[in-house]
A = this chain, B = another copy of it.
Amino acid sequence: MPYTYDYPHPAVTTDIVIFTIRQDELKVLLIKRALPPFQGEWALPGGFVNLDESLEAGARRELEEETGVKDVYLEQLYTFGAPDRDPRERVITVAYYALIPSDKIELRAASDAEGVSWFGLQELPALAFDHAEILQAAHARLAAKLDYSTIAFQFMPKAFTLSELQQVYELILRGPVDKRNFRKRILGLNLIEDTGETRKTGAHRPAKLYRAVDPHRVDVIK
């Protein structure tokens, strides 16, 4: 049944950038497209928004349908709308992103996806549409937010050492972070607290284990 309008309408999709850290690498969740266009190529999960659902609900639905990932905190990234970004018709996409700890996530490809996988940002395949640009924008946002937000805590397990947190910063920023300044700044923010536990690591003395004071907080640091 065709839908008729007095003037031309674009299609609207959502695309979702899910980051995690696995095997000491910053990784992104990609799906292999089961349908044209770009059939058989890798892409960000996403798809058309239903007219009766919010943008975020559409993003959550597509993410779960295509990858099995659910119950994540999505943040809107940016809306991409270059007139020629989709070969089919004018498609405007609202991009979301989320950071998740890699444990306990079971992937399951279905719906428009014939595959789903984590890819390190250094080993990306060619991506469909303008998804390389969307992914780059998400990575830039993530790196910029390290400086003024608690965003990186979303990657961490319940208890972690300062070295582990520093390593996450280094993986996102792709370079070394000064240990002394890092510790001073992080502890000064009062966003993590000593759990009273320690962890024995290698030949060093046991490292203190910390936890986020509020693990769901992603506020801007004042």
Contact = CB atoms under 8 A, between A and B. Distances in A.
Contacts of A198: none
A204 B11 CA distance: 61
Given A9-B11, A51-B90, A90-B51, A78 B76 contact: yes
A5 B9 contact: yes
Given A4-B2, A8-B51, A92-B55, A79 B76 contact: yes
A215 B215 CA distance: 39
Interface of A: 2-12, 48-49, 51-55, 76, 78-79, 81-83, 90, 92, 94, 144, 147-148, 220, 222
25 contacts: A2-B5, A2-B6, A3-B5, A3-B6, A3-B7, A3-B9, A5-B5, A5-B11, A7-B48, A10-B49, A10-B51, A12-B12, A49-B81, A49-B92, A51-B83, A53-B83, A54-B81, A54-B83, A55-B79, A55-B92, A81-B94, A144-B220, A147-B220, A147-B222, A148-B148
